[in-house]
Structure 1
Amino acid sequence: MMKAICSADLKRLLNWSVSILLSLLFFTTTMAKASVGLTEIAATATDGTVTLYYPSNAPEQQIRRGPFQFHLAEHAEPARGNGHLIIISHGSGGSPWVHADLARSLVEAGFIVAMPAHHADNYRDESHPGPDSWSLRPAEVSRAIDAVGRDPRFAPLLSLDKVGMYGMSAGGHTALSMAGGRWSPAGFKQHCEEDLVNDFQSCVGLNTRLTGGFFDGLKKWLALTIIRSRFGDAAMREHHDPRVAAVVAGVPAAADFDMSSLQSPKVPLGLVTAGQDRWLVPRFHSDRVVAACQTCELVAHMPEAGHGALLSPLPPHLTGLVGDMLNDPPGFDRKQMGEVDKKITVFFEKHLLH
């Protein structure tokens, strides 16, 4: 009789344990599959559109943006996440779609992600890239924080005392500024005077390239003539926003920074670097930051990656000079980018949530 009672009790205990485990599994799976919302804050007279990715409980649907297809819950009601905002600053001529994979990783960790369209240096208007844009971008990041904080859909879900900021390429330049870095247009001019040939695309963008041909001399003369006429201002640019508490700079434009200002950044600064970057040659840009910064964290280094590795998804069918600069080099495995996105996410969790 005693054996029968113990056996029945054991059976009930096992059934109860299995039920609890299944409930926990269902809860975990449901949380892991929480959807990613997509919406915008409209442009104003002074600032461009701010695109937001955020946690939502609404079902995702397939949507198209340019050449990209995503599964997102467009204009869905936001759900409460971890209460923190991440601003992403795109590169020259960039869009909010080429950082969608990173945005998803951040949203799945509970963050709300906002991407401001930088003035005259975005995919709809590429008229003033380079130092003209770099001078404006940090304040645009701060105003994007303000805009999200005023939005009645998101303000109740956020505490803006500890905001994260990520930037790639020209956005990486913005990220270094937000971390306390100081730079000047004259510093950009000096770099191009000294290293024009070895870092040509950094100085002229995608307007032209050196081919080893007859016209290279004319291209170099014209480039330096324009740069000297436009970028002689030696006044240091700096920007301080006490709300920004952690920064990640991916393949940043950095040759024009006073490296002493980046020795001990004001906030935790993480770096993501690409060994085969041909647009912003590492020894003039990211390598200098790594060497100068005493407290930076190397979040990820990809020895075989090119400049476009952090565009995820990468725009398809890129040809010509833009393809040479952004397409993945031979031997680069793009599958690793999911892990890189996770490392960036973990960096922000470490410095914003604890």
Structure 2
Amino acid sequence: MFPVLILVLFLWANRAQAGVGLEEIPATATDGIVTLFYPTQAEDQPLRRGRFVLNLAERAGPIRGNGRLIVISHGSGGGPWVHVNLARALVEAGFVVAMPQHHADNFMDESNPGPDSWTLRPAEVSRAIDAVGRDTRFASLLMLDKVGIYGMSAGGHTALSMAGGRWSPAGFKQHCEASLEEDFQSCVGLITRLTGSMFDGIKKWAAMLVIRHRFSDATPREHHDPRVAAVVAGVPTAADFDMTSLAHPAMPVALITAGQDHWLIPRFHSDLVMQACKSCVLLAHLPAAGHGALLSPLPPGLTGLVGDMLNDPPGFDRSQMAEVDQKIARFFEQHLLQK
């Protein structure tokens, strides 16, 4: 009798969180879709999204997890599917995960990345929290007084902004004026690259012409949301921050860095944050990783400049990213679930 009862309880406990649910909050006049991942009793099923085949329980009924929300801010041109493995680790720890689609800087619309997007993103994160709180499917399952923020690349910039970081478009311009050649992809994105040819001078001249025209505004950008209680920034864009604003963040902040990041050279970005921040935790340093290490799953078939920037460098062991995801989940558990 007792062995049978134990088996039944074991099977029930495992069924209590059988899969990772997938839902959406529709776009509004001001904001894009918010994609939600959450604990559910439903079983995962193969699901195709673009180039990805994912195992998720689409439109399944949510169940209560640990009562806390994590918002993920994607990188430039990004979206929810490149963060599904992290979302799964967070959901398995009991979190609900929300991913807002950032305006004009996502996989469906890449028309306006950079400082214009960085200005909008923090408020988009706050409105995504509001939207989840209004959604009758999730409102009763969550307490939104302590929310975690994770961001990667441009999303890391968003995360640092949510942690109290202060920056300006002019700060971006000043960085590029001082370090354009050394940090070229940070300043121009994936439009072009330096090749050592006679055309490099023209590329640098044209890049600075555009940057100086568009990004001269020195007005500080700040955003404060009292609900944000813990932040993780992965390979963040950070050269434009006033580093004094990140010296003593009002909440726990952790960073993930990649030693072979050729898009956001660490010494201009994540290294500066770690040097300035007195309380930040280096959650993981990946010496052999490139910029795309935190995209998990990594989009297949990337070629050209985007492939060079995002594909894994030779010798990088991608299997270690599962442990990085677990470290992120444990960081949020430590700081959001404590009494």
CA contact 1:180–1:238 (8 Å) conserved in 2: yes
2:96 equivalent to 1:117: no
CA contact 2:15–2:41 (8 Å) conserved in 1: no
- Following TM superposition, by how much is the alpha carbon of 1:266 offset from its aligned partner in structure 2, in angstroms? 1.2
- Following TM superposition, by how much is the alpha carbon of 1:23 offset from its aligned partner in structure 2, in angstroms? 5.3
Counterpart of 1:222 in structure 2 is: 206
| Alignment counterpart, residue 307 of structure 1, candidates 287, 291, 301 | 291
Letter in 1 for 2:140: P
Larger Rg: 1
Q: What are the ranges of 5 or more consecutive residues in structure 2 without an aligned counterpart?
A: none
Alpha-carbon separation, structure 1, partners of 2:10 and 2:39: 20
Counterpart of 1:132 in structure 2 is: 116
* Deviations, residues 280-319 of structure 1 (Å, cap 9, x unaligned): 0000000011111110111111010000000000000100
Counterpart of 1:345 in structure 2 is: 329
Alpha-carbon separation, structure 2, partners of 1:27 and 1:307: 41
The residue correspondences of 1:260-271 to structure 2 (distance < 5 A) are 260-271=244-255
Letter in 2 for 1:278: H
2:128 equivalent to 1:144: yes
CA contact 1:90–1:169 (8 Å) conserved in 2: yes
| Alignment counterpart, residue 277 of structure 1, candidates 252, 261, 264 | 261
CA contact 1:34–1:108 (8 Å) conserved in 2: no
- Following TM superposition, by how much is the alpha carbon of 1:49 offset from its aligned partner in structure 2, in angstroms? 0.4
2:84 equivalent to 1:100: yes
Secondary structure of the residue that 1:99 maps to in structure 2?
Answer: helix
| Alignment counterpart, residue 170 of structure 1, candidates 136, 141, 154 | 154
CA contact 2:18–2:44 (8 Å) conserved in 1: no
Secondary structure of the residue that 2:221 maps to in structure 1?
Answer: coil
Identity of aligned residues (%): 72
Counterpart of 1:253 in structure 2 is: 237
Letter in 2 for 1:193: E
Counterpart of 2:54 in structure 1 is: 70
CA contact 1:259–1:289 (8 Å) conserved in 2: yes
**How large is the Cα RMSD of the aligned pairs?**
1.2
Alpha-carbon separation, structure 1, partners of 2:15 and 2:101: 33
2:293 equivalent to 1:321: no
CA contact 2:151–2:159 (8 Å) conserved in 1: yes
Q: What are the ranges of 5 or more consecutive residues in structure 1 without an aligned counterpart?
A: 1-14
| Alignment counterpart, residue 74 of structure 2, candidates 90, 105, 112 | 90
Letter in 1 for 2:160: L
Structure-1-length-normalised TM-score = 0.93
Alpha-carbon separation, structure 2, partners of 1:276 and 1:348: 26
Counterpart of 1:157 in structure 2 is: 141
- Following TM superposition, by how much is the alpha carbon of 1:274 offset from its aligned partner in structure 2, in angstroms? 0.5
Alpha-carbon separation, structure 1, partners of 2:131 and 2:5: 43
The residue correspondences of 1:42-61 to structure 2 (distance < 5 A) are 42-61=26-45
Question: How many positions carry a matched residue from both structures?
Answer: 338
Alpha-carbon separation, structure 1, partners of 2:173 and 2:215: 6
Alpha-carbon separation, structure 2, partners of 1:87 and 1:258: 24
CA contact 1:43–1:49 (8 Å) conserved in 2: yes
* Deviations, residues 187-242 of structure 1 (Å, cap 9, x unaligned): 00000000000000000000000000010000000000100011011111000000
2:170 equivalent to 1:191: no
CA contact 2:150–2:159 (8 Å) conserved in 1: yes
- Following TM superposition, by how much is the alpha carbon of 1:185 offset from its aligned partner in structure 2, in angstroms? 0.5
Alpha-carbon separation, structure 1, partners of 2:181 and 2:164: 29
Secondary structure of the residue that 1:272 maps to in structure 2?
Answer: strand
Structure 1 residues 29 and 79: CA distance shift in structure 2, 3 A = closer
- Following TM superposition, by how much is the alpha carbon of 1:269 offset from its aligned partner in structure 2, in angstroms? 0.4
CA contact 1:273–1:286 (8 Å) conserved in 2: yes
CA contact 2:253–2:280 (8 Å) conserved in 1: yes
Alpha-carbon separation, structure 1, partners of 2:179 and 2:297: 32
Counterpart of 1:206 in structure 2 is: 190
Alpha-carbon separation, structure 2, partners of 1:28 and 1:274: 38
Secondary structure of the residue that 1:86 maps to in structure 2?
Answer: strand
- Following TM superposition, by how much is the alpha carbon of 1:60 offset from its aligned partner in structure 2, in angstroms? 1.6
Secondary structure of the residue that 2:174 maps to in structure 1?
Answer: helix
2:227 equivalent to 1:239: no
Instruction: Return structure 1 stretches of 4+ with deviation > 4 angstroms.
Output: 18-25
Letter in 1 for 2:147: V
Alpha-carbon separation, structure 1, partners of 2:269 and 2:179: 12
Alpha-carbon separation, structure 1, partners of 2:189 and 2:160: 20
